Amino acid sequence: MVAQLVRLKLTLLANTFRRSVWQTIGLVVASLYGLSILFLAVTAAVAGGTLAPAVTGQVLTVVGALLVLSWWVVPLFAFGIDATLDPLRFATFAIPRRHLLAGLAVAGVISVPGLVTALGAVGVSFAWWRHPAALLAALLGAVCAVALCIVGSRALTTSLAPLLDTRRSREVLAVAAIVPLLLIGPVIGWLGDNVEKTVDGAAVTVSVDAAPAEAVGAVVGPLASVVAWTPFGAPWAFASAVHDGAWALLAARAAIALGSLAVLWWVWDRALARALVTPRGGGAAGVGKGLGWFDRFPATPTGAVAARSATYWLRDPRYAASIAVVPLLPVLMLVVGTTSGAGTALLLLVAPAVAWILGFGISNDVGYDNTAFALHVATGTPGRADRWGRAIPVAAVGVPLTVAFAVVACAVTGTWSLLPPLLGVTLGMLGTSLGVSSAVSGRLVYPVPRPGESPFKTPKGATVATLVAQMVAVAIVLVVLLPTLALAGAGILLPAPGASWAALPVGLATGAVALLGGVRWGARVYDGRRPELLQQVMAFG
Amino acid sequence: MGGVTDPSPPEHAALSLRKLWKRFGDKVAVAGVDLDVPAGSFFGLVGPNGAGKTTLLSMATGLLRPDAGTAHVLGTDLWAHPDEVRARLGVLPDGVRLFDRLTGAQLLTYAGLLRGLDRATVAERTEDLLHAMDLAGDRDTFVVDYSAGMTKKIALASAMIHAPRVLVLDEPFEAVDPISAANIRDILHVYVADGGTVVVSSHVMDLVQRMCSHVAIIAGGRLLATGTTDEVRAGQSLEDRFVALVGGRRDSEGLAWLRSSSASS
């Protein structure tokens, strides 16, 4: 079974190369990115291990723990789990669950992040190349850590999936998401002055051979000694224990790592057992009242599309998931700001960030429609109506919301002089990102979770495509916004009140022109290739 | 019996396809089909699974751009003037989703407004269609919670809300219960009697033979026969005629190991 599932996963991965040039490019970019990170990490670890093994061991423990933690948590909030081997697809095959579980676990390594993690874990073990016993322990720890990554992420997503499918649980999720985010603050604060070095893992690893080992050790040491007692850090700390000859410590850490693995395995097994006999959907039929938004928008094709979009933003969990981060942003910025010493100033970033998130939210709207888009094709809905209808509800909510964020941020920080440039950048960002989204979504469509599926499920090839689409969109938006940003930047940093004030009209004009131009261009593209768009979404299945 | 068609689309044709081709990769789904659907006919399109029915109907209704060939609806070239044609054409595609987070009434309203109808007309026709499809009691239920048959009916209703002159329905009776199917057939017969044209695809031969005035048989992306139902079946039942034309009936003992008497792996 293990061999079969691994072969299936390899075939699926190979088929993504044959599927489309777009996905091939994405996969190649992702692989290159992964390989470069890998190379950096292994080089740094081996160099560090040669110079100062003890400190390197501590750093590896902390970075490794972060890695395991992100494997567990990130899929819940950001990308969802790789759905290529959805266990439900095997429900009718009468495969003994033990075999299925083992197969899924091993096949879980076969993906770009999985392979990078596995190779990285094994690679950094060679930091201990001067101490064969420690090297052996590090390699065993690496295997254990990779297993923890995969089994942990599957256990969490599988057991939480039924919970997250329902609408009510979205609120629960939003609350739950705050917890890990809030933890970042205290951890950073606890590390005191050396914040920069610990903010991201790469910086720590690279700085080992540059900075004096003692300084790094003083920062990371206490953290590592705590983290090594958690399931996240324990497997990475096997080698340190062997190196120090602390056999009792090694036994304790091995017990923690293997014990957690066993518990997670059991959780996953239970969750899978339940998932396999619980069909998707179910539950009581939902009932709406009257025509809702269709009564409130004008009775035109544009108004109809706007009413439909508004209904979906409120009723479809996939949309809610895409903006779930909005209410958390101010909290996050406050926590990071106060613990890092930047104070409340980071709050000023919330308004433009929210504007960007809202604008990007409709950049793949046809993908979200899936094949229901056939209705727009069959009815001959004009591109103008389609584009404006999707943009208007977002703009109608976005303008007051982002203005409110900007005003509150200025009030809290007491920097009213920053309000004009901030408003310019924020509204410019909203208009530009909406315009770019409207233009792009007539051309680029990529797979997203299908209607009714968990918003945390990621279709094959979607992660990379989303990232590339986001990067391209960010680049375009930034280029368009450059004059506004330059004026605002000059106004704030020099400081030059004239430039500050100029940023407001320039931002407003940029946003308005970008929105009008983007919608017009998007509408023309859309009108020319409605059937092709439909075929693209039909290919997603 | 058909098979020979004019190179130019006839005036009286509701739907007129000429040399339609579609290829997906190496597979030719539709290989140069010529087909005329007379105005005022109840036209059945039959063919085995994978014959290219859905591909053909998608190209005839503006959902899929053909590689070559033309489609005229009531004398207007569909791919040259898509928006003019779509106003007179109602489509029920097979295998696509609906905007199922809307309630039944909202979905019909949406389809009506997208067609550019005014609010009063949409409200009136939504009401009529919900009653005609036995969905009045489920008007405020989300379409996602409808059964397969109800989903088919609401999709059919949204294809009819703008009073098209031609209705193209891909597998309209699939999963629909017999009572609703009979009601839908009545609606369609009245529609045809009033001068409308209906094209349905199906692989239920009995149904097509009873219901349709004209029929076309396609297999492997090619048209095998077309004409009035009586012409095509030539004295046989449509099913026998279909099997004779398409071929592929197996005259064998079947799967011996599947019989319960030899129940061992």
CATH number, residue B73: 3.40.50.300
Residue B237 lies in a domain: yes
Angle formed by the axes of helices A383-413 and A350-360, to 10°? 170
Name the helix (H) or strand (E) containing B90: strand B89-92
Residue B259 lies in a domain: no
Is B63–A377 a contact, with Cβ atoms under 8 angstroms apart? yes
Task: Answer whether A539 touches B (CB < 8 Å).
Answer: no
| B69 has pLDDT over 90 | yes
Q: In what order do the strands lie in the sheet with B76-77?
A: B27-38, B13-24, B68-73, B76-77
Look at chain B and report how many structural domains it folds into.
2
Contacts of B83 in chain A (CB under 8 A): 380, 382
Chosen from B106, B121, B139 to mutate, greatest number of chain A CBs within 10 A: B106
Query: Which residues between 138 and 167 in chain A have a beta carbon less than 8 angstroms from any beta carbon of chain B?
Result: none
Q: Are residues B43 and B153 in the same domain?
A: no
Contacts of B64 in chain A (CB under 8 A): 531, 534-535
Give which of A327, A371, A469, A417 is closest to A25, Cα–Cα.
Answer: A469
Classify strands B76-77 and B68-73 as parallel, antiparallel or unpaired. antiparallel
Is B101–A316 a contact, with Cβ atoms under 8 angstroms apart? yes
Residue B11 lies in a domain: no
Class of residue B81 by CB neighbours under 10 A (exposed 0-12, middle 13-18, buried 19+): exposed
Note the pLDDT of residue A354: 92
Q: Are residues B130 and B148 in the same domain?
A: yes
- In B, minimum Cα distance to A534 occurs at B63
Is B99–A369 a contact, with Cβ atoms under 8 angstroms apart? yes
Task: Answer whether A357 touches B (CB < 8 Å).
Answer: no
Compute the nearest-CA separation of B5 from chain A (Å): 28
Task: Answer whether A289 touches B (CB < 8 Å).
Answer: yes
Is B114–A303 a contact, with Cβ atoms under 8 angstroms apart? no
Q: Are residues B125 and B190 in the same domain?
A: no
**Which percentage of chain B shows pLDDT scores above 70?**
92
How far is residue B151's CA from residue A26's CA, in Å, rounded to a whole number?
A: 37
Q: Are residues B107 and B226 in the same domain?
A: no
Q: Are residues B130 and B70 in the same domain?
A: no
Task: Answer whether A96 touches B (CB < 8 Å).
Answer: no
pLDDT confidence tier of residue B42, bands split at 50, 70 and 90: very high
Note the pLDDT of residue B30: 93
Task: Answer whether A294 touches B (CB < 8 Å).
Answer: yes
Note the pLDDT of residue A292: 84
How far is residue A456's CA from residue A157's CA, in Å, rounded to a whole number?
A: 8
Give which of A197, A200, A238, A209 is closest to A37, Cα–Cα.
Answer: A200
Compute the nearest-CA separation of A375 from chain B (Å): 7
**Which percentage of chain B shows pLDDT scores above 90?**
60
- In A, minimum Cα distance to B91 occurs at A378
Residue B59 lies in a domain: yes
Note the pLDDT of residue B6: 52
Q: Are A242 and A133 in contact (CB under 8 A)?
A: yes
Q: Are residues B149 and B189 in the same domain?
A: no
Q: Where are the beta strands (DSSP E) in A120-206?
A: none
Q: Are A485 and A425 in contact (CB under 8 A)?
A: yes
* Closest by Cβ to A531, choosing from B62, B87, B159: B62
Q: Where does a domain end: B141, B163, B185?
A: B163
Instruction: Dump the DSSP string for A305-366.
Output: HHHHHHHHHHH-HHHHHHTTTTTHHHHHHHHHHHHHT-GGGGGGGHHHHHHHHHHHTTTTHH
Classify strands A457-458 and B42-46 as parallel, antiparallel or unpaired. unpaired
Q: Are residues B156 and B204 in the same domain?
A: no
Q: Are residues B105 and B235 in the same domain?
A: no
Q: Where does a domain end: B163, B178, B196?
A: B163
Percent of residues in chain A assigned helix, strand, coil, to nearest 5: 80, 0, 20
Task: Give the least confident one: A273-277, B21-25, B57-61, B258-262.
Answer: B258-262
Residue B128 lies in a domain: yes
DSSP 8-state assignment for residue B263: -
Contacts of residue A124, Cβ cutoff 8 Å, sequence gap at least 6:
A41, A42, A45, A46, A60, A64, A138, A142
b/e burial code for range A392-426 (CB count within 10 A of at least 16 → b): bbbbeebbebbbebbeebbeebebeebbbbbbbbb
What are the tens digits of pLDDT across the range B154-190? 999 999 999 999 999 999 988 888 888 888 899 899 9
Residue B262 lies in a domain: no
Task: Answer whether A19 touches B (CB < 8 Å).
Answer: no
Q: Are residues B155 and B227 in the same domain?
A: no
Give which of B35, B28, B23, B38 is closest to B60, Cα–Cα.
Answer: B35
Q: Where does a domain end: B163, B178, B208?
A: B163
* Structural domain boundaries, residue B41: 19-88+165-247
| Strand partners of residue B30 | B22
Task: Answer whether A441 touches B (CB < 8 Å).
Answer: no
Note the pLDDT of residue A495: 80
Residue ranges in chain A modelled with pLDDT below 70: 16-23, 75-88, 161-217, 278-289, 324, 339-341, 452-463, 541
Contacts of B111 in chain A (CB under 8 A): 375, 379
Rounded (10°) CA dihedral A49, A55, A59, A64 = 60
Residue B37 lies in a domain: yes
Give which of B48, B64, B245 is closest to B56, Cα–Cα.
Answer: B64
Whole-number average pLDDT of chain B: 88
Q: Are residues B156 and B182 in the same domain?
A: no
